[in-house]
Amino acid sequence: MTTVTMSKVAADADDLSVWPASARRLPHGVLAVGGVCLAEIADRFDTPVYVLDEGEVRAHCRAYRDAFPDADVLYAAKAFLSRAVVRWIDEEGLGLDVCSAGELELAVTAGFPADRVVLHGNAKSPHDIEAALRLGVGRIVIDSPSEIARLAAAVGVGTGGAQKVMVRVVPGIMAGGHEKIRTGTEEQKFGLAVSDGSAQHAIARILGLRRLELTGLHCHIGSQITDVKPYVAAVRRMVGLMARIRDTHGVVLPELDMGGGHGIAYRPGEPALDLTALARRLRAELAASCAAAKLPVPRLAIEPGRAVTGPAGVALYRVLAVKRTGERVFVAVDGGMSDNPRPALYGVRYAPRLVGRRSTAEPRTTTVVGRHCEAGDILAADVELPGDIHPGDLLAVPVAGAYQLSMASGYNMVGRPPVVAVHDGTARLLVRRETLADFRRRDIGE
């Protein structure tokens, strides 16, 4: 390996650009986040363990509020939700976007105002709808024609007042970091398309029902989007549909929810969505399109999830085994696809780092794998780690605050890891580790 290449590898290994802003290097190769040593967290709470930087989460909330001062910023709960996160986003002035009765009830029982909650879902269960109406959510996003009659009938069973709803529209725009997370075209399960008239038909039906109050339109074009242009194009098409609704029904809708999907960098050098540019371009396009259509500018809403909590999280693992097979080096850790299925689902790439000690060994291309009985249980393929890595070492994976614990499973009955919040030099447990006793309590058959 040349000197230039070695220098680049060393620089990449020391790059903290995708880590929380509070990340600090300590002596002997150890890192601290939120003023707390990661090695101490691993010793105290065991591994695997998620570390969530409260200050980083709050900073991202404030960045969104500053960028969109005249819009509703709704945190997408599916990225990660706990009672503490509910409190943080409430205190920072954000609303909440939920996809189930479970997410909704956790938020409301933690003290979050239900009228600042929006309920999504392409297949809402009767329990989802009942909970939303009982707790008084601010908006329900209608995703299919069959939902209209079901929801109207459920409202009638309740107080008899009108439930505010939006319609999820498919604008025909392809965007997103992987085909499995592109939701803006007709070839997927979400929303109602404009191209075949489904959206227009649903809107007409809703406007004819006194128990449903249509407040606006919603769209979500995909996830892990790093370019502003698809959002601008989506705004233009959504305003066009709002103009047609006015012309056809004489109704001017006051709200437009442009969803989320804001991309972040998982490894140094990767692109991320420019929040300032997004805010500027969305406002400009919304104003221009509405002026051209002679429409008042609707109240804008956005739904960031990953971009709020993702960069604030770090996953810690212990190395269990090191295996050399031919030219490949496999480092197996005490977690895997049960606590982070994203690499197996989407081919996501991470940048793990040795954090428990300082190594002077030359780096070697390594694949970090999990402990599960699947060949696809890979956490990080072809990454540079010290050549002397051995069992007992501590690895940290940054950008672990979104779509990891929320998507975790009980595969192989390996309990889901705990979540530890760090802030101003203190660490506290937010979510305890799932134990074998939890599995036994659920298994009640003989």
CATH number of the domain to which 316 belongs: 2.40.37.10
Is the Cβ–Cβ distance between 124 and 172 less than 8 Å?
no
> How far apart are the C-alpha atoms of 333 and 352, rounded to whole Å?
11
> Confidence class of residue 9 from pLDDT cuts 50, 70 and 90?
very low
Is the Cβ–Cβ distance between 353 and 346 less than 8 Å?
no
N-terminal to C-terminal alpha carbon distance within the chain? 61
End residue of a domain, out of 310, 344, 362: 310
> Confidence class of residue 177 from pLDDT cuts 50, 70 and 90?
very low
Indicate if 306 and 355 belong to the same structural domain.
no
**Residue pLDDT, tens place only, 219-234:** 998 889 999 999 999 9
Indicate if 255 and 138 belong to the same structural domain.
yes
CATH number of the domain to which 58 belongs: 3.20.20.10
> How far apart are the C-alpha atoms of 192 and 190, rounded to whole Å?
7
Q: Which of 38-52, 145-159, 346-360 has the lowest mean pLDDT?
A: 145-159
> How far apart are the C-alpha atoms of 316 and 314, rounded to whole Å?
7
- pLDDT at residue 14 tops 90: no
Q: What is the DSSP letter of 429?
A: E
Indicate if 59 and 45 belong to the same structural domain.
no
- Residue 187: the pLDDT is 66
**Residue pLDDT, tens place only, 36-89:** 999 999 999 999 999 999 999 999 999 999 999 999 999 999 999 999 999 999
Average pLDDT taken over every residue of the chain: 92
**Residue pLDDT, tens place only, 255-292:** 999 999 999 999 999 999 999 999 999 999 999 999 99
Domain count, the chain: 2
37 flagged as catalytic: no
- pLDDT at residue 385 tops 90: yes
- Residue 186: the pLDDT is 55
Q: Which of 26-30, 186-190, 255-259, 319-323 has the lowest mean pLDDT?
A: 186-190
Indicate if 428 and 328 belong to the same structural domain.
yes
Residue type, 252: V
CA 133 to chain centre: 25
> How far apart are the C-alpha atoms of 445 and 443, rounded to whole Å?
6
Residue type, 383: V
Indicate if 101 and 160 belong to the same structural domain.
yes
- pLDDT at residue 1 tops 60: no
End residue of a domain, out of 243, 276, 310: 310
End residue of a domain, out of 310, 332, 363: 310
* Residues spanned by the domain of 342: 3-52+311-442
Indicate if 330 and 392 belong to the same structural domain.
yes
Q: Which residue has the tokens 């109050």?
A: 213
Catalytic residue among 37, 61, 290, 373: 373
Indicate if 36 and 97 belong to the same structural domain.
no
